[in-house]
Structure 1
Amino acid sequence: MSILPSYQKHQISAEEATPLWSAAEHEERDDGSSLPPAYPPKNDPIVGSSGNEQREITYILHNNWGDNEEALGLLGRTKDETIEIVKRGFPSLAKYPSNRIEFYKWLDYKDPRTGWDKSRWVRIFDEVWQQTMYPPTSAVGNAGEEGQGEEVKLPKELKIKIGEKVHDNAGEKERMFICFCITAVCILCIIFILYFGLKA
């Protein structure tokens, strides 16, 4: 008959009884910094210069053939950043200089002559870009509050057009003068050829 094995209790030494870290250190380690990243990852909000979060906006690329392209993207903090965004989103814009890319917003207004409510696309100049796209937070959402005036509506769409090519007036005058000189020389040469040809 086999004898059952017997187990002896192991005495824990002082070194084994000492914790690897203190309770305070354990709390610091459990603050979430050592945890793996959550899935799906969360993007931190991007704050604009006026305090508003960088928001989504619909871009509408207008061309001369009436076949508009639409895309949903982020609004840049500045106009230059917005131009870079639309150039990446619409590859056909990459060949144009930034000063030819124009932005238009949808404007609701009241006709002063008829009093009717109307709307149309209006171009946004550089001087009013920041206050139009990123108005102060105190001006947004104040509709109906006494003494606050009308609510500022944030544009939800931007139409993109390619503006006319900007000409350099000084360079244009110089080119016209050169063309005039060349034309005058050609006319004189023809006159001399005809004169001496008939005389011969």
Structure 2
Amino acid sequence: MSILPQYQRIPDNDNDDVHPGGKDTRLSFGDSDSQPPGYPPEASSSSAAIPASQSTGPSVIYSFRPRYPVQAERQHAMGVLFPTRAGATDFAQRTFPVLANYPPERIEFLLLVDVPDAHHTSKSWVIASDEAWVGFGENPPARIRVQVADGPKDAKRLESPLMGRTGRERKACIVISIIAASLVGVLLLVAAIGLAASMKHSHSRRPAPLIAVPRQARISPLWHALKDSDPAA
């Protein structure tokens, strides 16, 4: 911090001259000082300059997307497009502190680009290699995704759909599963009640059982009359 200028009283009359050989302590501004000293002092031009690797480049949004085994929430930060991947890695580790727990080679950057296939072109996130940073100056991306690359023991993340999700996503999946199970249970209960009511209604409308009639009782009375009138009988 610079020293403030010292001010002293100027004599009120012209008789208070400085004695020969004495020191003139009165404040005066010569021709060399076009501006009087002010406060706070201006920043010195000799201040340390910011490294070029961290001061150049257009603005870019860095989106951190945690995946298993990283336990964190999604975050976004505004930064600049660094000329090298090492500068972007250093910025990501300083901006998202959880990334400081992983080596720089585990941190990867992805860009949203058009990926053509046999039928149409779709947007997809692709990993940016070290050599790709050279061409970013001509076509700088507006957004860069940051994530931790899968390690040798992270294969089990693919075994469960919940392992690769954040805490909020896992809670949402659990809540949705509970709601879906409840709806299925209600539908099954309604179907069971309807089936029971239908069976009860069908039992009430069932016809009376037939009564077995002996064979002799089913013979017509006319046949008995003919038998009695036959002399050979």
Q: TM-score, normalised by structure 2?
A: 0.42
Q: TM-score, normalised by structure 1?
A: 0.47
